[in-house]
Amino acid sequence: MELTVSVQEGHALEVLDLLCRGRALRITAKEPLTRPRPELVEVAGRRIAASVLRVLVEGGRRERTLLRDGRRVDARVWDRELLEDFALRFSPASYTLWIELTQRLDALARSSQVDDGVGSSRSARRQIRKVVKIAGTGTGDWIFYALAVRHLERATMPEEIRGDLRRRLAMGSPLATLLALEEHTGEGELMVEEQLMELLLPANVRLLECADHLFVDAWIARIRAIPLEPTVPARIVRVQGIVRVLSKFLSALDGAHRLDLVGPIVSLLLRLTDAEAERIGLWAEEPAKLIASLGRAGEFASLAQREALRRAYAELVELGARLWELRDRLADEGYGDRRYEESQLLIERCEPLRSRLGTLMSLAGALTNRLG
């Protein structure tokens, strides 16, 4: 579809490409677009749909062994065996995200929207609520919101604003929650546990099966950024939030009998403990070096604060041990038992971790001052 656009419309499409593909903005409009014409909306809708479908195809084009009703199925994204009642559903939230961010991006990018020592200003938080709708979102919106979380990292704006946008997007999408590792609770919002349960419903789980390739790089980036938090309390909160989301993810997979989907967590632990991976194996160094990277002595207000950060980080490292405990528990499933096929896939998925358990245990022990 060929369409001649004005400068305002070109800027609006570039904002959309930022959200969908992470492309930098080049066009600056003196006045933001407020009422896009139907032809532009059609183009935007096609771009959103194409970006969402690209995520599904990239993650599902290769044949994978997954579970359906406790049975193994080898299939790709378009094979009927894995689709069941799955459908991409969009609500007006995707349109709202695009057009409202187009109108407000310039204002949100200003440093004046941040109050020192507080974070985003009240005005910025009010604008973010208008940009990101969280009620009634559908599976298509969930992917679009996850892409927005991923690509807003490339937008020029204060980190406080970006963080509030990320948290708001997570409230409206379980995929965005998993991508951002942002915990959230509150009246009128789905808590993380409820979100993940909804994502794991038979009609929605195909989304997770195809989009899990988005997670590991994002998780590593979030973990790598922990020491960059400006204060020790902020680091503690960040680590605790990451631990809680990943822990709830594991619990949700166990509760839904879908531990065949632990692949991203396994990959995360493998990459963090890979001594050969340049700038990736954060946990492959001597424990003392990693502990030193959590903060300089002068940054801690007290010994208790230092220990709180170490304990929080130990809980993150101990996700490996928890995953292995789940593996051992399901290993008792016998042939013909309800979770037998799941147990066999879990054992297969976890096997590469066997050689890294010693590294993880040593690091967790050092963080908590345990011996051996």
pLDDT string in tens for the chain (372-residue length): 567 888 899 999 999 999 999 998 887 777 878 889 999 999 999 999 999 999 999 998 899 999 999 999 998 888 887 887 888 999 999 999 999 999 999 999 898 888 876 788 999 999 999 999 999 999 999 999 999 999 999 998 999 999 999 999 999 999 999 999 988 765 445 689 999 999 999 999 999 999 999 999 999 999 988 888 888 999 999 999 999 999 999 999 999 999 999 999 999 999 999 977 655 567 887 888 888 888 887 889 999 999 999 999 999 999 999 999 999 999 999 998 999 999 999 999 999 999 999 999 999 999 988 644
CA dist., res. 54 & res. 210, Å (int): 10
pLDDT computed for residue 140 by the predictor: 97
The percent of residues in the chain predicted with pLDDT above 70, rounded, is 95
- How many Cβ atoms from other residues are within 10 Å of residue 174's Cβ? 28
CA dist., res. 48 & res. 143, Å (int): 10
pLDDT computed for residue 280 by the predictor: 55
SS3 120: strand
CA dist., res. 89 & res. 83, Å (int): 14
- Condensed to tens digits (0 to 9), the pLDDT of residues 282-334 reads 788 788 888 888 888 788 999 999 999 999 999 999 999 999 999 999 999 99
Within 13 A of 94's CA, how many CA atoms are on the CB side? 28
pLDDT computed for residue 34 by the predictor: 81
- Condensed to tens digits (0 to 9), the pLDDT of residues 3-17 reads 788 889 999 999 999
Q: Which token pair is 157? A: 């704006």
